[in-house]
Amino acid sequence: MKKILVADDDGKLQLLLRTTLSEAGFQIVEAADGEEAIRLAAAEKPDLILLDIGMPKLNGYEVCRRIRHDKDPKVAKTKIIVISVKNYPVDIRSAKDVGVDEYLVKPFTLKQLRDTVNRHLSLK
């Protein structure tokens, strides 16, 4: 079973993502702030991270930067999909510059979410 770390401080969105992705057969781990996201990425070694940019303690850009520089290659190469309301080109470019694999703008449909996750996990 593929494991996904959902890192977002919005409890309602976490519930929606947890429910949707659990029903699709994924194991879900959740973080409510940037520091917890880094800790859980190292401890849980998820296959994919859904990462909000605007989180407490450490923003998503810094979380991604630290994950990409992790000493464990499995952690450093984890697929990262940003989920954010920030949709300006500078936001997307900044995310790509720190190593994000894809940028999904909120609001998104559940189909968009499933398709994006499946594509990055090479599932059909």
- Per-residue pLDDT of the chain (124 residues), as tens digits, is 999 999 999 999 999 999 999 999 999 999 999 999 999 999 999 999 999 999 999 999 999 999 999 999 999 999 999 999 999 999 999 999 999 999 999 899 999 999 999 999 986 4
pTM attached to this predicted model: 0.95
Q: What residues contact 103, with CB distance under 8 A and at least 6 apart?
A: 81, 82, 84, 91, 92, 95, 96
What CATH number should be reported for the domain holding residue 75?
A: 3.40.50.2300
CA gap 9, 3 in Å, rounded? 19
Q: Is 8 contained in some domain?
A: yes
Q: Is 85 contained in some domain?
A: yes
Q: Is 61 contained in some domain?
A: yes
Q: Is 49 contained in some domain?
A: yes
Three-state DSSP at 49 gives strand
Q: Is 120 contained in some domain?
A: no
Sheet holding 48-51, edge to edge: 27-31, 3-7, 48-51, 79-84, 102-105
Q: Is 80 contained in some domain?
A: yes
CA gap 19, 79 in Å, rounded? 20
Q: What residues contact 10, with CB distance under 8 A and at least 6 apart?
A: 52
Three-state DSSP at 36 gives helix
Q: Is 77 contained in some domain?
A: yes
Residue 124: its pLDDT value, please?
Answer: 47
Residue 122: its pLDDT value, please?
Answer: 84
- Total of domains in the chain: 1
Q: Is 116 contained in some domain?
A: no
Q: Which amino acid is at 33?
A: D
Structural domain harbouring 90:
3-109
